[in-house]
Structure 1
Amino acid sequence: MFRHRVLSVFPVVIAAAASSVGIAAGCSAEGKRLAFDKTTGGSANAGGVGGAGGEGSAGDNASAQTGGSDGFGGMIHIDGGSTEEAPDVAVNPCGSACGPTELCGVDELGVDHSGLDDDCNGMIDETCPCIAGQAHSCFRGDPSFRHSPGCFPGTQLCDETGTWGPCIGGVHADENCHMSDVAGCHPMQTAPFANVNLKEGTGAFSEDALAGSEAWTVTCPPGVDPCPAVGGTGPADDFKPLQSGEYTVTYTKRVASGETATCVYPLFVGARGLRVELEWEHDRASVDLDLYLHKANNTQPWTIGGSSVACGYGNCTLDKLLDGSTIHWFDDDAAPPEPVNWYLDPEEANNTCFYAPRGVGDAWRTYGEGCHNPRLDLDNISCVHRITDPDHPDFCAPENINVDFPPRDGWMRIAVHYFGGTASTDVHPRVKIFCNGELGADLGPTGFYDPEQPVTFIPEDSGDRFWLVADVLFPKPDPGQCGGSDTCIVRPIYEDETMKTPFLSEARTMIRDFGPAYPSLPRP
């Protein structure tokens, strides 16, 4: 694939300060959702109730309470007066039983309580400060159950007031996730781009469905637009999620009596390491935005298209790598989890580049070296918003950059360039940063000074606007802190730290400048 680009650039000086406050995603609420190493809980066929849980509440002994199910994968509510004892389960060393107080951050024993419902009141981190745009995993109810089969964390987003919002999605202890029947509708897991047979999530619930009566619909996570359509014509319906997050699957069947029954279950989509996804409106004429990732702890200026120190459309796609790209950040002979340049995972599903749409995945697979780090799976130059088939060459696929095995203690910088287009209206870029499958930040619609005014590119920005989004770090594991190896820290970059304004510059400036200095490395 050859891409013609022309851009005029001129030198300008710029200076600003980065934020000194970090966004941390702790291990405490299920550090890894996807079992890449076959050791974590919540496999694709794990039991659990379907649907997203509400805030709800539980009594002081929530870990020893049971509730009832509607039989169709709906919520299981807690009865505060119940005294039935829960099954004996192992207590996760990263967690704690229900206590009298909601806790924030890491305690003196090195246990991270971020995202935990420590007092089991159905609310999480309600007294803990945060930064707008911050995101982390969250788990309601007794924290000791969060790694149990059938239990999955949800996601919390920090609002503009510095307050954690509700825990959205997931399957939680206050829904008795650890006691759910694994035979019926249950949560599923997959990697981005992989085709999913949604039938597998219905379990025994679909066994009495009349032939030809089954149907699936999928609701995508916020910001995923267009939402890929469900393909196929029956029990083998396929679905290809191109972006990370929690999808809601609704299954409907008709049985011999003529009645219709429905169940709802979540589909968790994520990948290991660092995955950065860029989305914007595709229904406002042709707009081309480009995603960039700068090499860890390197402060050389940016280059439009990419360079040896910045991953972009001109050097990080497979065709550019095969055409002599100079991007080579890591050791070819390293062994994961150490950063490695190319890696062919023996577990087929972990080579996420193999499933990229538009035939790109087949090219990665045919090359036979696995997936490159870093990489841009595909470059979305133009698309047609009304198309919902994710395999169609004109589907509006997100731009995404991946580092499967990110370096430790090395800041990497994320940027977006408004390359060009014909839009006569504003465009609003949205960047989601995922660390080991968990959302670490959602920036653009949130994360900055005005919740009513997201990051905006106006028509006059076409060809030059350059947004320095955030710095991301995977710190070295702290032996004294549970799950530190799965933690990432994200710091939004501000033009004015007090006002929390986004850092919007111009390409003609950034080819001579890196932007604000990287933050200092965090230390225990």
Structure 2
Amino acid sequence: MGRLRFSSSLLIIAGAAVSSAGIAVGCSATGNPGGLNSSGGDDTGGVGGLTGAGGLLNFDGGQEPNDVVTVNPCGSACGEQELCAGANLGLDDDCDGEIDEDCSCLPGRAHSCFRGDPSFRNAEGCFPGSQLCGETGTWGPCLGGVHADESCYGSSDVACHPIQTSPFADVDLKPGTGIFSADAVAGSEVWTVECPEGIDPCPGVDGSDPADDFKPLQSGEYTVTYTKRVASGETQSCQYPLFVSAGGLRVELEWEHDVGGVDLDLHLHRPNSTQPWATWGSSEDCGWNNCTIAHFAESSGVSWFRNSARPPDPVNWFLDPLESNNSCFYAPQGVGDAWRKHELGCHSPRLDLDSRGGCDPTVDSPDDPGFCAPENINVDFPPKDQWMRIGVHYYGADGIAGDIHPRIKIFCNGTLGADLGPTGFYGPERPVTFAPAGARDTFWLVADVIFPEPDECGQANCVVQPLYQNTSSKTPLLTTDEYVETSFGPAYPTLP
């Protein structure tokens, strides 16, 4: 049986807050190459051959050669060649229909991507897609988004068109139909939503009143299908994207929920601190036992930043004057009401929902206590030039005999910065696995993430550095809760 988690005054699971930030372009993992041991040796930086992480491993593309003349240093127009660094990462710099085809990368990393003339990247109606680095160290296709090669800048609201929101928001899907829905026969309209890869179960569309309510809990690009019947009896339909994003750092944890009572816990370590972790809670480790609204309401939660600070500087509590920007107020299962009643806004860091074993994967309403919600940790206004480390603890399972495969998505200012677990590890690549034998109390040291100061082009990039036990084979750094309770793990990388 899974453990009971409670507060003396609030029997409640915490919800998260994220500032409303639209779709941010950036969060490319860029920096200087070299540093981490790339010789293939099994560095012994701790128990079990933990790899020391004193540098950065093969940052995406590195710097341009000295003899290259950069035609479009900030992605402002079509140039003569593909560029691999800074603001140009993720753009079709030479407008040949391919993006970063000549740029190296680290498997598991991701960045936003935009096809066509780069000067339209931030144009109204245009949205970037996502590009994931594959196991061969090359960038995969640009998936999703609305791009210049599709004349996104010429789109309008007269037909079905993209809409955007933040996680936890209750979304009215009808505005995405434009005037396409104007001739629909009353009562004939139906919306369905397809979630991004890795989100399972996918929240359902509320078919009651109104018939178009949807509450996304996770970031990414959703596909909305709208169907209507017109006066002639003909059925017509269209599709449009729903972009869900949040500002700052957002870490999302998913795993199989259809196998029973598996309990995984998401953890975020205090920036730049190298004190040991504490799976049951400490000032250094944001997790289930000290980072929920129940703890903050009792003044027992973690406190990493100054209450008197003002964004964009890191701040513990921030109450946005526009209520809808306090997205923790809309967290499901009653958590949002607890944040609102506390009257201080949303806290950074915070654990959105503590998803324990025993949920029902057939439930599709996020407000139902049985819904298999993901775990999310957020820092709305992350510190600059300070590393933060992400961990996942396999607390236990109720009689589960099969393997469990955790998946971590790291979003920076709304853009996917890494997709780790199914990708990013081993050679040939295979998923990170918590095996049933000895899986309880396994602790996966996942990755380090940092938000450098904006570059000369004003891009708010982030850097994600996956952690390895062996760098040549990209072996994930799986250890135990006993180890992390006495050690931070490998040293942080050098600053990018």
Gap change, CA 1:504 and 1:451, over 3 Å in 2: same
Decide whether the 8 Å contact of 2:161 with 2:176 is kept in 1: yes
Give the one of 308, 324, 337 matched to 1:349. Answer: 324
Give the one of 85, 101, 112 matched to 2:81. Answer: 101
Decide whether the 8 Å contact of 1:408 with 1:475 is kept in 2: yes
Mapped to 2, the partners of 1:319 and 1:276 lie a distance apart of 20
1:139 aligns with 2:141: no
Partner residue, 1:189: 164
Partner residue, 2:228: 253
Partner residue, 2:416: 439
Give the one of 2, 5, 8 matched to 1:3. Answer: 5
Mapped to 2, the partners of 1:267 and 1:373 lie a distance apart of 26
Q: CA RMSD in A?
A: 2.0
Mapped to 1, the partners of 2:255 and 2:101 lie a distance apart of 31
- Residue identity over aligned pairs, in percent, reads 64
Give the one of 57, 60, 83 matched to 1:21. Answer: 57
Give the one of 435, 455, 467 matched to 2:432. Answer: 455
Deviation at 1:20, TM superposition (A): 2.4
Q: Deviations over 1:41-76 (max 9, x none)?
A: xxxxxxxxxxxxxxxxxxxxxxxxxxxxxxxxxxxx
Give 3-state SS (helix, strand or coil) of 2:437's partner. helix
Decide whether the 8 Å contact of 1:274 with 1:405 is kept in 2: yes
Stretches of structure 1 lacking an aligned partner (at least 5 in a row): 6-11, 27-91, 107-111
Partner residue, 1:396: 372
Mapped to 2, the partners of 1:515 and 1:125 lie a distance apart of 33
Partner residue, 1:497: 471
Partner residue, 2:300: 325
1:425 aligns with 2:402: yes
Mapped to 2, the partners of 1:451 and 1:222 lie a distance apart of 21
Decide whether the 8 Å contact of 2:60 with 2:84 is kept in 1: no
Give the one of 358, 382, 386 matched to 1:406. Answer: 382
Partner residue, 2:355: 380
Mapped to 1, the partners of 2:299 and 2:118 lie a distance apart of 50
Mapped to 1, the partners of 2:458 and 2:61 lie a distance apart of 11
Calculate the TM-score normalised by the size of structure 2: 0.86
Decide whether the 8 Å contact of 2:427 with 2:473 is kept in 1: no
Mapped to 2, the partners of 1:243 and 1:395 lie a distance apart of 14
Deviation at 1:93, TM superposition (A): 8.6
Give the one of 287, 297, 313 matched to 1:312. Answer: 287
Q: Deviations over 1:293-325 (max 9, x none)?
A: 001110000111221011000000010122332
Partner residue, 1:202: 177
Partner residue, 2:188: 213
Q: Deviations over 1:207-263 (max 9, x none)?
A: 000011111111100100000111133664101111100000011111111112111
Deviation at 1:97, TM superposition (A): 1.9
1:335 aligns with 2:310: yes
Paired letter, 1:414 = I
Give the one of 250, 254, 259 matched to 1:275. Answer: 250
Deviation at 1:102, TM superposition (A): 1.5
Written as runs of structure 1 = structure 2, the 5 A alignment for 1:102-181 is 102-106=82-86, 112-181=87-156
Give 3-state SS (helix, strand or coil) of 1:321's partner. helix
Partner residue, 2:18: none
Paired letter, 1:518 = Y
Paired letter, 2:341 = T
Paired letter, 1:408 = K
Mapped to 1, the partners of 2:388 and 2:440 lie a distance apart of 24
Deviation at 1:22, TM superposition (A): 6.2
Decide whether the 8 Å contact of 1:473 with 1:488 is kept in 2: yes
1:477 aligns with 2:454: yes
Mapped to 1, the partners of 2:297 and 2:427 lie a distance apart of 44
Deviation at 1:143, TM superposition (A): 0.5
Decide whether the 8 Å contact of 2:316 with 2:347 is kept in 1: yes
Decide whether the 8 Å contact of 1:470 with 1:490 is kept in 2: yes
Gap change, CA 1:428 and 1:25, over 3 Å in 2: farther
Give 3-state SS (helix, strand or coil) of 2:236's partner. strand
Decide whether the 8 Å contact of 2:205 with 2:211 is kept in 1: no
Decide whether the 8 Å contact of 1:25 with 1:440 is kept in 2: no
Deviation at 1:25, TM superposition (A): 12
Decide whether the 8 Å contact of 1:280 with 1:427 is kept in 2: yes
Give 3-state SS (helix, strand or coil) of 1:386's partner. coil
Mapped to 2, the partners of 1:437 and 1:24 lie a distance apart of 19
Gap change, CA 1:322 and 1:467, over 3 Å in 2: same
Mapped to 1, the partners of 2:160 and 2:364 lie a distance apart of 26
Deviation at 1:374, TM superposition (A): 0.4
Decide whether the 8 Å contact of 1:135 with 1:442 is kept in 2: yes
Deviation at 1:476, TM superposition (A): 1.8
Mapped to 1, the partners of 2:58 and 2:332 lie a distance apart of 34
Q: Deviations over 1:174-200 (max 9, x none)?
A: 000011132211111111011101111
1:295 aligns with 2:270: yes
Which of structures 1 and 2 has the larger relative contact order (alpha carbons within 8 angstroms, sep 6+)?
A: 2
Gap change, CA 1:193 and 1:461, over 3 Å in 2: farther
1:510 aligns with 2:484: yes
Gap change, CA 1:519 and 1:303, over 3 Å in 2: same
Mapped to 2, the partners of 1:330 and 1:429 lie a distance apart of 30
Partner residue, 2:443: 466
Mapped to 1, the partners of 2:303 and 2:269 lie a distance apart of 12
Deviation at 1:121, TM superposition (A): 1.9
Mapped to 1, the partners of 2:381 and 2:361 lie a distance apart of 33
Mapped to 2, the partners of 1:145 and 1:459 lie a distance apart of 50
Paired letter, 1:102 = E
Calculate the TM-score normalised by the size of structure 1: 0.82
Decide whether the 8 Å contact of 1:23 with 1:134 is kept in 2: no
